[in-house]
Amino acid sequence: MNSTRQSAGNEVGERIIISIDAMGGDRGPSAVVSGMARSQRKNPDIGFIVHGRRDELEPLIARKRGLGDVCEIRDVPDIVTMTEKPAQVIRNGKNTSMWSALDSVKQGEAEVCVSCGNTGALMMLSVVRLRKLPGVDRPAIAVLWPSRNPQGFNVMLDAGADIRADERDLATYSAMGVAYARSGLGIERPRVGLLNVGTEEHKGRAELKLAHEHLQAASVDSDFDYVGFVEGGDLPSDRCDVVVTDGFTGNVALKTGEGTANLIADQLREAFRYSILSRLASLLALTSLRRLKKRIDPRRVNGGVFLGLNGTVVKSHGSADSTGVSAAIKLAYLLTQQRFSEKLAARVASAPNLPQTATTGGNGGSSE
């Protein structure tokens, strides 16, 4: 479990070191460096290993007061573009900032890596370079979902690392989600729900029923509660803290939620533009609206997290601005501080095993 490596940068009095892929995002390295500067102002004990072109990064970093003192630049010439196929990156990506940033985690220089780059390439490269944790067949992407819970967010996984998940993967996702909710959201006793098309026990695909039985048993005398099947409407609800699903469903749900929120925001803007009276009202309402916007601003929950590897990778939106990047770094900082990677590995290792069944590896479920 190589805990020496896992706890790197996490000793009392030491800096908390984050490995940063500074080059991959749509807005280029300046948004990333601005985000780093914001994080550094809030957390003076943070430190960065920054991967990218030194000639571009050095002047950007120099412009931010004090940032240069906590940055070590690793000069690498290449960049993984947004359109590059993951397989290409595996073959030819040795000199990219993404590869180099992951290697800092692999070498134990940092526990968590942050990248705004191409998700598919980042995921595949993370698996190849960091390797899966013992006991994990399919790593997952966990996202924070704005919710009615006191902590303001639920954890949903898998948000799209793999398009399939069998009952064993779903059980693993539950264990990883519980670890993440504890370290990332500070929830002592997370409540886990399994995403389905209804809450009745007889509903859904075969792998869901098997995972349901397993989680019922596994939650007995454990440090999490299993609330049973939940539905799409429960993603933003306070019924549970962790929502477990396969990556196909999770990805569609995530993008549907984002799309719906964007549509409503646009319509709200339009409604307020409609008449002079409504313009006046919107002016008066500005503070209220700003408060709401801050609450549901997707940039503030920026950061899907790759779980199930030897080390943790925070994927920031490709289009993230400095607010978004700084949110992703804040999460990476928190997870490092909490020794999250270590705790996750321990939890997966100690999770009760689910026997391999006939349906494992496929999605052949039976309907009701």
Size of the site for its own copies (CB under 8 A): 64
What Rg value do the Cα atoms of the chain yield, rounded?
21
**271 in contact with its own copies (CB under 8 A):** yes
Residue type, 31: A
Instruction: Choose, by CB under 8 A, the member of 68, 77, 186, 362 that binds its own copies.
Output: 362
Q: Site for its own copies (CB under 8 A): which residue of 197, 339, 343, 360?
A: 197
- Residues 228, 194: contact at Cβ < 8 Å? yes
318 binds its own copies (CB under 8 A): no
Establish if 259 lies at the interface with its own copies (CB under 8 A): yes
Which residue, 213 or 258, is less far from its own copies as judged by CB? 258
* Near its own copies in 145-174, by CB under 8 A: 146-148, 160, 162-164
Phi-psi region of 13 (alpha: psi -120 to 50; beta: other; left: phi over 0): left
Q: Nearest CA to 143 among 187, 173, 167, 107? A: 173
Angle at 21 between CA 137 and CA 57, to 5 degrees: 175
90 is a contact residue toward its own copies (CB under 8 A): no
Interaction of residue 287 with its own copies, rule CB under 8 A: yes
Give whichever of 138 and 182 is closer to its own copies, judged by the CB atom: 138
User: What would the two tokens of residue 133 be?
Assistant: 């944790």
Q: Which is nearer to its own copies, 287 or 350 (CB)?
A: 287
**Nearer residue to its own copies within complex by CB, 306 or 340:** 306
Stretch that binds its own copies, among 128-136, 175-183, 289-297, 333-341 (CB under 8 A): 289-297
Helix, strand, coil fractions of the chain, as percent rounded to 5: 50, 15, 35
Cis, peptide link before residue 158, omega less than 30° from 0: yes
CA separation for the pair 153, 185 (Å, rounded): 8
Helices 119-130 and 97-106: crossing angle, nearest 10°? 30
Residue 199 lies near its own copies (rule: CB under 8 A): no
Binding site for its own copies (CB under 8 A): 146-148, 160, 162-164, 195, 197, 203-205, 231-237, 245, 247-249, 251-264, 266-268, 271-272, 274-275, 277-278, 280-282, 284-285, 287-289, 291-292, 295-296, 362-365, 367-368
